[in-house]
Amino acid sequence: MVDKRMTEAEVVSRLRSGMTIGIGGWGSRRKPMSLVRAILRSDLTDLTVVSYGGPDVGLLCAAGKVRKVVFGFVSLDSIALDPHFRAARQSGSIEVAEYDEGMLQWGLYAAGIRVPFLPTRAGLGSDVMTRNPDLKVVADPYGGDDTVAMPAIHLDAAIVHMNRADIHGNAQFLGPDPYFDDIFCMAAEQAFVSVERIVPTAELTAQAHPATLRINRLVVTGVVEAVGGAHFTSCVPDYDRDEAFQRDYVKAAGDPGTWQAFNDRYLSGSESDYRKAVAARAQEVLA
């Protein structure tokens, strides 16, 4: 069986500018942040990002990586709005396709199960229809109500962060919610899963129910072991959101000078440099 282990850099080497990339998690919860940080360090640009958005979207916008965001919301959960996404929108520097969050699921699911669209009532009567003029309303061939034909959202790549996986790509969530990570993987040509720990296959179900194995290896291209890979978003039960760090992130975004300092301190080096800088910050707070 294939050993799919790779590094963040190897994942990024398989991505190209202009790609459509789906990012798993939800808001500021279990985001594949080490992979996002690797994209920040790369020369990738002109990306279309599909996300139940959180700081992943904000950071990529701040770094000028984004051409278009496909979204239903962008939020940091405990802080309602992401400052970089706001700034990018308010300056008109990015395109958007804004959908009801259920429509977004439907579009990814349609791509995953290889149908051109899936019908839904969601969107009808709202400005989601007027802001996305390509959306079509279709008649029910069986005589019922008209519905929106939500088109498949095909992803060139998906990146998601789970709690555990084996080297083959069978990946497990141990927190309360799988979010839509498996659907992102199914919708993608290539899916990359980062995890807190890679373990032997048998260990995955030693303590946990097999239903937690939400992602099967047959949809996974690469597995990255990334300890703290979701930081500063939550990755329960491994760790909670780093609320203090998230507050710093928001505060730093308020001004170009403070953002440059934040960027220099945390985002200019390697992932290992990032972890050291985060640990150093925690020490400072304690001192």
Residues lying near another protein in the complex (CB under 8 A) = 26, 52-53, 71-75, 80-81, 85-86, 89-92, 98-103, 105, 120-128, 130-131, 137, 145-148, 176-180
DSSP code at position 81 = S
- Residue 22 φ then ψ, to 5°: -90, 140
**Radius of gyration in angstroms for the set of CA atoms belonging to the chain, rounded to a whole number:** 19
Q: In the bound complex, what is the minimum distance in angstroms from residue 180's beta carbon to another protein? A: 7
Q: Is the Cβ–Cβ distance between 170 and 216 less than 8 Å?
A: yes
186: left (phi over 0), alpha (psi -120 to 50) or beta: alpha
Q: How far apart are CA 201 and CA 196, in angstroms?
A: 15
Using the minimum distance from each CB to another protein, give the nearer residue, 9 or 81: 81
* Rounded least distance, CB 129 to another protein, Å: 8
Show the tokens assigned to 255. Answer: 């001004």
Which CB atom, from 173 or from 249, has the smaller least distance to another protein? 173
Least distance from C-beta 16 to another protein, angstroms?
Answer: 27
Cβ proximity to another protein, 72 vs 269, nearer residue? 72
Nearest residue (CB) to another protein, 115 versus 137: 137
Q: Which is nearer to another protein, 3 or 240 (CB)?
A: 240
Q: How far is the CB of 4 from another protein (least distance, A)?
A: 26
Smallest gap from residue 277 Cβ to another protein (A): 29
Closest Cα partner for 159 from 190, 184, 192?
192
For tokens 């097999």, the residue is 210
